[in-house]
Amino acid sequence: MEARFLKPYSTLRYFPEGIRNCYNLNVEKGINHLIRAWFIYGNYDGQDKDPRFDLYLGPNPWATIDLYRLENGTRKEVIHKPTSNSLQICLVKTGETTPMISALEIRPMGDNDSYITQSGSLNLYFRVYLTESTKYIRYPNDVYDRQWIAFFWREWTQISTSSDVGTSNNYELPKAALATAAIPTNASAPLTIVWTNSDNPDAQYYVYRHFAEIQDLQNNETREFNMLWNGDVMSANPVIPNKLDISTFYSESPRTCDGGDCTFQLKRTNRSTLPPLLNALEVFTAIQFPQSETNETDVVAIRNIEATYELSRINWQGDPCVPLHLRWDALNCSNTDASTPPRITSLNLSSSGLTGNIAAAIQNLTQLEKLDLSNNNLTGEVPEFLGNIKSLLFINLSGNDLNGTIPQSLQRKGGLQLLRQGNSRLFPSESPTKPTSKSFPVVIVASVGSAAILLIVVVVLILFLRKKKPTNEVFLPRPSRPTMNVPYVNSPEPSIEMKKRKFTYLEVTKMTNNFGRVVGEGGFGVVCHGTVNGSEQVAVKLLSQSSTQGYKEFKAEVDLLLRVHHTNLVSLVGYCDEGDHLALIYEFVPNGDLRQHLSGKGGKPIVNWGTRLRIAVEAALGLEYLHIGCTPPMVHRDVKTTNILLDEHYKAKLADFGLSRSFPVGGETHVSTVIAGTPGYLDPEYYQTSRLGEKSDVYSFGIVLLEMISNQAVIDRNRIKSHITQWVGSELNGGDIASIMDPKLNGDYDSRSAWRALELAMSCADPTSAKRPTMSHVVIELKECLVSENSMRNMGRGMDSPNFPEVSMILDNEMIPRAR
């Protein structure tokens, strides 16, 4: 690299405040952009602590920047097509070190048909042109500022031309990249390039191959060759390069490699007299950015509200709604699925020092359900547009200095709760004075009295009809339940009878073939296998008369699972709530529970250490979603190995939500409840105080981790140290992890990942909740354990990925192909 290219990377910007810091870039929607970020630490702060943090593109993770592992610096490059006219590149703090960036470059690539993918974007793996030179090519020689690295191998011979090579196709390669080419020195041998992607062995590749014939061929000479991918021919017709003109080949669908080992070959045909040649090669991995950005109208609206009130909040950066753990404070959003843009449904700017009028931009939040502007210094009148937001159900304007009258549009709006206390000059009707008539409360009292009488009549009638009910039913009567299904106090959830996905008892009988196949049994009752729509397998959980759980637990599980959706939570297909018949219909998870795969009971295979770590990550993701992705947040309360189910691909799904409870957010971190859970997994602090919080689940998850590590019983009265935490603690004094690890693993594990997982488990199971990590931290730690384990296995197979030399700086993330 010439000196002029070094200067931009000799400075940096760092972000000591906040979790997410973002650059907001103006882009052109719908066309490809080359986005490149550089990270070179250089011990700028004198702390000698190489940073580690996450890089996000909009609401989606792009890469993890680990400058401890890549100590010479790294760059990340992607070709991406934005879905809106703005784009955020965000640095997200994930640990103790400070995120930083050396340079950020973005280049529009024009409205053409280059770099097309089946789905997702293109993450650069490597880009080379084949030459013995060391020259580095970028802008102005490349109009899109792609960076071409000189690459050559000793088994090759270079050919070159001084003639002008045509580059007029959609890719517009620099002419210098096509003026040279490599051919195999052994003319009968194929030209072979191999690489190993041990970090991502399941990667999908898009390979762009650029050819130009740069030799003068004699009449009796022919150059013709096939392209092979891992031994398979890539196209039906052989390649005959165009004379002094570019030809670019690519596949419309991505390709994969077996175990991360990739082989690309050019092999001459039988009729060819000359060996194959290659001028330039670009290899990308497919990267998915599945999470849709928040609805653009909502984003503009909330930005205008922010500007109107001159708000300065450190976390109001990046996408307002997603990802969930980085959602802006003061907001709630609808998050149905990743492909649907989230909408802002709640805005809470209470006690935010707001002045002036109610911001007009609020009317553009057309899906808003809750608006809290209380305890500010707002003045002026209540605007008419609030009544025109059809979804709005709750408005809190109390504690301001608003005046005038409540608009008719708000007064006529059915189902709206409007709080306005503390606005002495604000009146409820068009009249400028407060009404003095006493008739209004009298009407309310009379109405309530009539309703009470009517309610008593209805209850008596129901009881009378129940006595007449026939008793020759297959399903045993359930424990007592309320006559009326009343939702939780202050809960926005309607009663379960108002929900969808409700099955009749006759339908449940048919789907289970009259409960013919019992696949399990728990505290709720038996679990039967069934099918819905003739093909979808389901598990039907029936409430028995002798069940220790009752209608309250049944309703809790239905109410929770009807409003949460996560790939690592067992999904609810439906439920039955008919007379004395209660049933929950779940997706069928065929591989049983984790406990069976640790013990080997029921003929289940013992899962290896890598699979255990992946299962732990997935279960932790499910818990993390309950803690920070739900509104209100939820505590599972019964996390244990028998409640972690495995599907046909051994993907973990957290199950059994009958004991789950919501917990407060804000200043409070716990809620008082009756003690519930499973002995051994039960948080000792919760047991002593009855104060339930998310850290209670963290404790239980720590016990699960210890089980996965050791395969020891949680409570074993035959041990001197009966509880698993006590036993592990005593074994740790010896300093030998082998005495703790499950002997059924036969020593097949990476000791670094095992030690890290063990330390994490013990920190989760700390008796003091304040010392336990959050589930988000647990997820991060477990993912790093999994990376360590996978790296060990890859090295065990002889894999390597040497660094790709780049100019005068060595960037550790550059991947180098190898000739063979």
Pairing of strands 370-372, 343-348: parallel
pLDDT (0 to 100) of residue 398? 95
Domain co-membership, 678 together with 626? yes
pLDDT band at 791 (very low <50, low <70, confident <90, very high): low
Q: How far apart are CA 280 and CA 148, in angstroms?
A: 9
Task: Give the residue-averaged pLDDT of 679-707.
Answer: 88
Whether 218 and 355 share a structural domain: no
Residues 574 and 557 in one domain: yes
CATH number for position 199: 2.60.120
Give CA 420 to chain center in angstroms.
Answer: 39
Residue 464 lies in a domain: no
Across 201-210, 358-367, 545-554, least confident range: 545-554
pLDDT band of 675, cuts 50, 70, 90: low
For 393-426, write each residue's pLDDT tens digit: 999 999 999 999 999 888 888 889 999 999 999 9
pLDDT-derived band at 550 (thresholds 50, 70, 90) equals low
Is residue 444 in some structural domain? no
**Average pLDDT over every residue of 421-443:** 56
Q: How far is CA 138 from CA 22, 25, 142, 173, 663, in A?
A: 27, 22, 5, 10, 55
Considering the domain architecture, whether residues 131 and 213 belong to the same structural domain is answered as yes
pLDDT, the chain, mean: 83
- Residue 593's SS3 state is strand
Quickly state the pLDDT bin for 651 (edges 50, 70, 90).
Answer: very high
Strands 355-356 and 377-378, bridge-based pairing: parallel
Q: What is the pLDDT of residues 65-76, one digit of tens each?
A: 999 888 778 999
pLDDT tier at 629, thresholds 50, 70, 90: confident
Q: Do both 105 and 166 map to the same domain? A: no
Do 574 and 635 lie in a common domain?
Answer: no
Dihedral-angle region of residue 54 (phi above 0 means left; psi in -120 to 50 means alpha; beta otherwise) = beta
- Mean pLDDT across the stretch 677-681? 83
Query: Sorting pLDDT into bands at 50, 70 and 90, what band is 661?
Result: low
Q: What is the pLDDT of residue 792?
A: 64
Residue 445, SS3 per DSSP:
helix
The catalytically annotated residue of 142, 319, 593, 638 is: 638
Q: Report which of 232, 236, 247, 319 is spatially closest to residue 279, judged by C-alpha positions.
A: 247
Q: What is the pTM of this model?
A: 0.55
**Can you say how many angstroms the Cα of residue 36 is from the centroid of all Cα atoms in its chain?**
23
Q: Which of 305-309, 477-481, 553-557 has the highest mean pLDDT?
A: 305-309
Residue 541 annotated in ligand binding: yes
Final residue before a domain boundary, out of 554, 573, 588: 588
CATH at residue 746: 1.10.510.10
* 733 lies in some domain: yes
131 and 276 both lie in a single domain? yes
Does residue 802 belong to any structural domain of this protein? no
86 lies in the same domain as 171 = no
Q: Is the pLDDT of residue 3 over 50?
A: no
Q: Of 41-50, 126-135, 663-672, 733-742, which range is least confident?
A: 663-672
Residue 638 annotated in active site = yes
Question: Exposed, middle or buried, 551 (CB in 10 Å: 0-12/13-18/19+)?
Answer: middle
Residue 36 and residue 24 share a domain: yes
> How many of the other CB atoms lie within 10 Å of CB of 820?
13
CATH of the domain at 70: 2.60.120.260
In a shared domain, residues 640 and 578: no
Per-residue pLDDT tens over the stretch 577-614: 887 888 888 888 888 899 999 988 777 889 999 999 99
- d(CA 358, CA 355) in angstroms, rounded, equals 9
Distinct helix (H) and strand (E) counts, the chain: 14, 43
Q: Are residues 63 and 192 in the same domain?
A: no
Which of 289, 309, 338 finishes a domain? Answer: 289
Output phi, psi for 116, to 5 deg.
-90, 135
**Number of structural domains, the chain?**
5
Residue 441 lies in a domain: no
User: Cα 502 to chain center, whole Å?
Assistant: 29
- What number of other Cβ atoms are within 10 A of residue 395's Cβ? 23
Task: Write out the residue range of the structural domain in which residue 513 sits.
Answer: 472-483+495-588
* Across 162-174, average pLDDT: 93
* Per-position DSSP letters for 96-163, written without gaps between them: SSPPEESEEEEEE--SSS-S--SSSEEEEEEEEEE-SS---B-TTTSTT---BEEE--TTEEEEE-SS
pLDDT at 26: 86
* Higher-confidence position of 192 and 776: 192
Read off the pLDDT band of 549 (50, 70, 90).
low
